[in-house]
A and B are shown apart, each in its own frame.
Chain A
Amino acid sequence: MDAPGFIREKTLRAAGLDILQVNLGYRCNMACKHCHVEASPQRAELMGPGTAAEVLGVLDACGIPTVDLTGGAPELNPSFRDLVEAARRRGRHVIVRSNLTIFYEGGMEDLPELYARLGVEVVASLPYYLEEGVDRVRGDGVFQKSIDALRRLNALGYGQGGGLVLNLVYNPQGAFLPPAQCRLEEDYRRALREGFGIVFDRLYTFTNMPIGRFRQFLERTGQLTAYMEKLAQAFNPATLEGLMCRRLVSVGPDGALYDCDFNQVLGLGLPEGLPRHVREFDPAGLSSRPIAVGEHCLACTAGQGST
């Protein structure tokens, strides 16, 4: 496979620092087949309160406008609520990447109301607009729970254009590339509105990363080589400008810093000479850092890119 130049020459650099992405742990109430983090109820890794306090220290020390909380299910971290409230008190835009079914776990029932009260942006996984596609990837009954959760968010004002932002995330349910985002968004809008009365702001299409549980699926079914070739053939240099790693730093559950959540899973840390831990955070140095890249980066640069 002929790797694109940015992978061979390692010339990709950050172009600013707009988002602090914080992974609060790999524990999740689900174990989806495509999960690159391999999150599940059995995973023990959680960001401790000390590290969460160090994350807040970064917000106090610099003006990064957006905090993006992810997991696992980030809500399962005991520090989650404090972190969201503290970030909002500091005037930061907070995004929570929610799996929606977490609202039905014990003690989590009030999350939609909490999000609405604090004005949190919800980015919710809904891999497809049909039940069969979602349940096959995420587990039986997940689609219906997700629909119920989206209705609750809509009832609170989410997705209505009034400031409470509800974005959905599509993942291909297998070893193929995502469709054009705008075209699929139309299908989602029609299916969710006509079928369930649900509205939302935007749909993001993600490309499945050849790492974690999805990579195991590719290997098990003998599709890894073909999938990687497909990604390489679909390489689009126009995606390089908007890659999320160019404006984001990812903090792992142990406080280690990475260029993105995917590099975090692979243990691909920041290059020598840069801060390696959230307590050493240096916004100036991180804003123009060289980005560590690998073969998996092809998933973010294929086709129209992966938001």
Chain B
Amino acid sequence: MGDYYREEDLARFGQMGKHNPDLFRKFMDWYNAALEPGALSKREKVLIALGVAHALQCPYCIDAYAQGCLEEGMSMEHITEAVHVASALRGGAALIHGIQAHNAVDKVSL
């Protein structure tokens, strides 16, 4: 099947506007506005994005926001901590569902 994720495809993101420019423009306006500094700084937003990129395991987003962190002056230490936060949340989110499993077991148990 070849490489499903190709590095050069990140730069082709704009082509998603080809068949519906109106929706794509709306998405991009919202996306860019969401990442503009507001109550949160650019740096905080880039770190959130990096964490989400890892939680979603999106290679394009990981590439983009790892670089984004460097361009905000952050080090490998900052990046690694953000990935740990995302991983911890993923792990915690899985673990809390263990209660559902317990509940399911309790429900059918004598």
Q: Which A residues have a C-beta under 8 Å from some C-beta of B?
A: 128, 130, 132-133, 172-174, 176-180, 183-184, 187, 226, 229
Contacts and interface: CB of A to CB of B under 8 A. Distances in A.
B73 A176 contact: no
A174 B70 contact: yes
Contact of B73 (A183, A226, A229): A183
Contacts of B45: none
Main secondary structure of the interface of A (DSSP, over half): loop
29 contacts: A128-B75, A130-B75, A130-B77, A132-B75, A132-B76, A133-B75, A172-B70, A172-B71, A173-B70, A174-B70, A176-B67, A176-B70, A176-B71, A177-B71, A178-B71, A178-B73, A179-B71, A179-B72, A179-B73, A180-B42, A180-B72, A180-B73, A183-B43, A183-B72, A183-B73, A184-B73, A187-B73, A226-B11, A229-B11
A45 B71 CA distance: 35
Nearest to A183: B73
Contacts of B43: 183
A173 B71 CA distance: 10
Contacts of A178: 71, 73
Interface size band for B: 10 to 19
A177 B42 CA distance: 15
Nearest to A172: B70
Interface in B54-104: 67, 70-73, 75-77
A174 B74 CA distance: 13
A226 B8 CA distance: 10
Given A177-B71, A184-B73, 6 more contacts: A132-B76, A172-B70, A176-B70, A180-B72, A180-B73, A183-B43
Interface in B11-70: 11, 42-43, 67, 70
B16 to A, nearest CB: 18
A179 B75 CA distance: 12
A178 B71 CA distance: 5
A40 B47 CA distance: 38
A161 B8 CA distance: 49
Contacts of A184: 73
